Amino acid sequence: MSTTIGVIGSGQMGGGIAQVAAVSGSSVIVYDAFPGAIEKCKGVHKKSLGKFVEKGKMTQADADAALARVRYVSTLEELKGSNWVIEAIVEDAKVKKDLFAKLAAMFPADDVVLATNTSSISITEIATAAGTSAHRVVGMHFFNPVPLMQLVEVIPGLQTSKDVVERTVALATKMGKTPLKANDRAGFISNRVLMPMINEAFYAWMEGVAEPEAIDGIMKLGCNFPMGPLRLADFIGLDTCVHIMNVLAEGLNNDRYRACPLLKQLVTAGRLGDKSGRGVFEYPAK
């Protein structure tokens, strides 16, 4: 049976997931609750695929065929016919749980996988909201920007069936990604290891160990990081970094994961990183 992937949320992540799925040959139905977002997503797809063609990484015919496989819709009901769903809406546990309760009812067939791209919320908690469908809920954690980043972290919840995990690994591979498994603990692997490192960079800055440029320069030149931890924090969003540290502190029950006071203070001042034009560094063009 051919795969029709229903993507919910057409923002940075959902849009990217839809694009990669279409390029890999799947039919895609992408839905967003906000009509403006769907229009924007269409434009982003055209532009992004155009860049691949320009760089000689894809033919115009393949780009056109990928675009023709995507249907953009503005109601949840229009996702019917999908045999795989990937959710990439706002990172809010209540909103996601309400959605998964609806999805379980809307897709009663036992072979429809209900995947979430959450970066921090417990898969077990989201799966519980799907009731008797909990075994077909799985974490499918893509990275930003999706068309370029290689990894998909595959996270089974406590209830997820082995078959669903195997099928998720297979789909991620078909999408041209490298799937790696992590268990359902706060932050999974990526954020559990990355975020405390970023947080520590803020502590080092706060304590006057070095200035931001030097902290980032040392980590780039000395550890071969493509981007320093403070620059990366600006890219992710300082508010998101605080949110993830809070999830780690609570989920792992340990104060050592508390967000650095300086990081929290920058968020209070509205310095959120690239998206607000200033975080640790300044981005006047944004």
Question: Which residues are near ligand NAI by CB under 6 A?
Answer: 8-14, 32-34, 37, 88-91, 95, 99, 117-119, 141-144
Report in angstroms the alpha-carbon separations of 125 from 46, 64, 130, 207: 36, 39, 9, 38
Count other Cβ atoms within 10 Å, centred on residue 76: 15
Active site residue 117: no
Please, what is the minimum distance in Å from the beta carbon of residue 17 to ligand NAI? 9
Element spanning 28, H or E: strand 27-31
Please, what is the minimum distance in Å from the beta carbon of residue 1 to ligand NAI? 26
Give the span between the Cα atoms of 168 and 58, in whole angstroms. 26
Active site residue 119: yes
Residue of 27, 119, 122, 199 with catalytic role = 119
Give the span between the Cα atoms of 111 and 101, in whole angstroms. 17
Indicate the residue type of 168: T
Give the span between the Cα atoms of 115 and 155, in whole angstroms. 10
Please, what is the minimum distance in Å from the beta carbon of residue 10 to ligand NAI? 5
151 vs 218, which CB is nearer to ligand NAI?
A: 151
Active site residue 250: no
10 vs 199, which CB is nearer to ligand NAI?
A: 10
In 3D, which of 30, 17, 47, 48 has the Cα closest to residue 118? 17
20 vs 204, which CB is nearer to ligand NAI?
A: 20
8 vs 259, which CB is nearer to ligand NAI?
A: 8
Active site residue 91: no
The catalytic residue positions are: 119, 141, 153, 191
